[in-house]
Amino acid sequence: PVLDDLARALQNRPADDAWAGGIELIARKFQSILESEGVTRIEAEGQPFD
């Protein structure tokens, strides 16, 4: 949920906000840490709940 929240924040930002670059960097670093720990993204949108 955290990465999804960061993505939503970036999608809804005003075009001239300088903080967006920092948020993008945080999201990339967080994703990198998760991947280094073996966590992979699960594409769940549109898939039946199991």
In tens, the pLDDT along 2-47 reads 888 888 888 888 777 778 888 888 889 999 999 999 998 888 788 8
Output the pLDDT for position 33.
94
What's the number of CA atoms in the CB half-sphere (13 Å) around residue 7? 7
Output the pLDDT for position 12.
84
Output the pLDDT for position 36.
97
Output the pLDDT for position 37.
96
H helices present in the chain, as ranges: 2-11, 19-36
Output the pLDDT for position 34.
93
